[in-house]
């Protein structure tokens, strides 16, 4: 699995500790981590939590990433931004039990974490435990187990609803403020990682029109 890490400007200084916690847990599982920044408080390519959502949607819809780890001060803004886009199902995760239940019940493809609220002593341990529960075993198995079938049915219903309530991502990218989108896709590693992993020619072409090859 290709896992993308995205940080916004208010919590960019924590990128290194988040990246370290994530890679420590998931790389032994065989997953790859792509750090899209921000790479620190001084990173010139600044992202807002709204732009986190844009970037997450581009990565997931193009299959340049299979999963997105993002967040903001409380995690709420990043979660709302991500869920504004098609084919993104983002959960707000605070602790390991949130991670486990989101994985097993909702089987989404992104989480938003609070990187300021409650982020104190032992925060890196909480991150590690969250990532362990999020990626441990096969997702979507239900919790409790006897509720697995109706939970799967509800996930499918939600996915069908999102097909109606959202237009395709290429149309969204073209209709959004172009400077907003360009800013979301301007990270130092974006072109290197995106073009190497993108599997959708239409999204690739739309991104290239905005930021170039």
pLDDT value, residue 174: 96
- The structure tokens listed for 33 are 């981590």
Helix (H, G, I), strand (E, B) or coil at 122: coil
Domain harbouring 146, CATH code: 3.40.1400.10
Q: Report the Cα 40 to chain-centroid distance in Å.
A: 18
Separation of alpha carbons 62 and 76, rounded Å = 24
Give the domain range for residue 142.
Answer: 2-211
pLDDT value, residue 213: 79
Q: What is the pTM of this model?
A: 0.96
Per-10-residue mean pLDDT, the chain, length 213: 98 98 98 98 96 98 98 98 98 98 98 97 97 96 94 96 96 97 97 98 97 85
Asked whether the beta carbons of 125 and 18 are under 8 A apart, the reply is no
Q: Is 153 exposed, middle or buried (0-12, 13-18, 19+ CB in 10 A)?
A: exposed
Count of structural domains, the chain: 1
pLDDT value, residue 212: 83
The three state secondary structure string of 144-183 is CHHHHHHHHHHHHHHHHHHHHHCCCHHHHHHHCCHHHHHH
């Amino acid at each position: 699995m290709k896992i993308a890490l995205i940080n916004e400007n208010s919590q960019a200084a924590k990128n290194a500790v988040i990246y370290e916690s994530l890679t420590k847990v998931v790389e032994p599982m065989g997953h790859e981590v792509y750090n899209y920044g921000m790479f620190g408080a001084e990173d010139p390519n600044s992202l807002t939590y709204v732009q986190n959502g844009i970037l997450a949607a581009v990565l997931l819809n193009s299959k340049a990433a299979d999963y997105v780890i993002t967040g903001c001060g409380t995690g709420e803004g990043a979660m709302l931004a991500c869920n504004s886009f098609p084919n993104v199902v983002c959960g707000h995760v605070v602790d390991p039990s949130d991670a486990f239940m989101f994985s097993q019940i909702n089987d989404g493809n992104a989480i938003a974490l609070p990187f300021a609220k409650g982020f104190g002593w032992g925060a890196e341990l909480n991150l590690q435990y969250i990532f362990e529960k999020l990626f441990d075993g096969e997702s979507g198995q239900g919790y409790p187990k006897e509720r697995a079938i109706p939970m799967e049915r509800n996930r499918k219903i939600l996915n069908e609803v999102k097909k109606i309530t959202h237009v395709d991502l290429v149309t969204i990218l073209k209709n959004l403020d172009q400077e907003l989108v360009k800013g979301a896709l301007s990270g130092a590693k974006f072109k290197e990682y995106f073009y190497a992993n993108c599997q959708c020619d239409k999204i690739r072409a739309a991104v290239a029109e905005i930021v170039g090859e």
